[in-house]
């Protein structure tokens, strides 16, 4: 079964600085999808960024970028120029290429932005 | 475009009582998911519907949980009887066919006392 592990329960960063959140996963598949979701106190999960495993190029969305290391099964999220609105729980998630297409989530990392 | 709607937002019940949650997915989204998120953990899939058929309910505690999706649109998730360990946020998500992004609703926070 696929598993996703986030080893940092909490992280903090100064406003305008850069922070990296870690995620590792376990799968026997060669083609799959990885996601980072943000969950603010309102509880609504918001997609931040996605990565297809067949793509070698790391995904980037404005201030958010990933470091995808397929061989190491690592998928970290880098947030540049951190803003107060970035404070939230961040979840790493895995989706298999076939089957029921459910998302398997990690335990989450709580990110605090210090003004 | 309206997002995924869920109600109620909060519910407090005593153990052994029953409770129901409602979800209205984004219009046109054939796939609907119910996730359970226990405090301090990531969401865990309970059940997935494709239109009004069940695709995956392998992690649904069927002795107490049930779900249905009427006419392939709205869905209800029921717990009967509730246990203390059912205290969690219940998230509904929907997805358009051919697209892998899931859109989440605001969730229902259930407290069982």
Query: If DSSP codes are grouped into helix, strand and coil, which group holds residue A20?
Result: strand
Per-residue model confidence as pLDDT tens digits over B98-107: 888 899 999 9
Pairing of strands B19-24, B31-37: unpaired
CB < 8 Å to A100, chain B: 48, 55-56
Q: What is residue A80's predicted lDDT score, i.e. its pLDDT?
A: 98
Amino acid A99: pLDDT = 66
Average of per-residue pLDDT across B77-106 = 94
SS (H, E, C) chain B: CCCCEEECCEEEECCCCCEEEEEECCCCCCEEEEEEECCCCCCEEEEEEECCEEEECCCCCCCCEEEEEHHHCCEEEEECCCCHHHCEEEEEEEECCCCCCCEECCCEEEEEC
* Backbone φ and ψ of A78, nearest 5°: -110, 130
CB spacing of A102 vs B109 below 8 angstroms: no
Question: pLDDT tens digits, residue range B53-67?
Answer: 999 999 999 999 999
Q: Which of A46, A47, A102 sits opposite B33 (nearest CB)?
A: A102
Is residue A89 very low, low, confident or very high in pLDDT (cuts 50, 70, 90)? very high
Nearest to B89 among A4, A43, A47 (CB): A43
- Report chain A's mean pLDDT, rounded to a whole number: 93
Residues B24-49 pLDDT 10s:
999 999 999 999 999 989 999 999 99
A97 CB neighbours in chain B (<8 A) are none
Confidence of residue A100 (pLDDT cuts 50, 70, 90): low
Average pLDDT of chain B is 94
pLDDT band at B1 (very low <50, low <70, confident <90, very high): low
Cβ burial, residue B105 (10 Å; 0-12/13-18/19+): buried
**Looking at the partner chain, which of A42, A95, A105 has a beta carbon nearest the beta carbon of B42?**
A105
**pLDDT tens figures, A48-71:** 999 999 998 999 999 999 999 999
């Amino acid at each position: 079964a696929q598993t996703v592990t986030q080893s940092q329960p909490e992280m903090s960063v100064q406003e305008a600085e850069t922070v990296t959140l870690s995620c590792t996963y376990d799968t026997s598949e060669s083609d799959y999808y990885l996601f980072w979701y943000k969950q603010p106190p309102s509880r609504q999960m918001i997609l931040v960024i996605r990565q297809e495993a067949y793509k070698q190029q790391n995904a980037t969305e404005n201030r958010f970028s990933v470091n995808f290391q397929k061989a190491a099964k690592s998928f970290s999220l880098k947030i540049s120029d951190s803003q107060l609105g970035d404070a939230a729980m961040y979840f790493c998630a895995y989706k298999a290429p076939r089957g029921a297409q459910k998302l398997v989530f990690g335990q989450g990392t709580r990110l605090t932005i210090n003004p | 475009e309206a997002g995924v709607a869920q109600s109620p937002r909060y519910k407090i019940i005593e153990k052994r009582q029953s409770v129901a949650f409602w979800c209205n997915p984004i219009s046109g989204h054939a796939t609907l998911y119910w996730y359970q998120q226990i405090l301090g953990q990531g969401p865990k899939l309970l059940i997935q519907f494709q239109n009004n058929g069940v695709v995956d309910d392998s992690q649904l505690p069927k002795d107490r949980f049930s779900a249905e999706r009427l006419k392939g649109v709205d869905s209800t998730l029921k717990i009967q009887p509730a246990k203390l360990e059912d205290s969690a946020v219940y998230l509904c998500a929907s997805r358009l066919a051919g697209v892998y992004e899931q859109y989440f609703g605001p969730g229902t926070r259930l407290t069982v006392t």
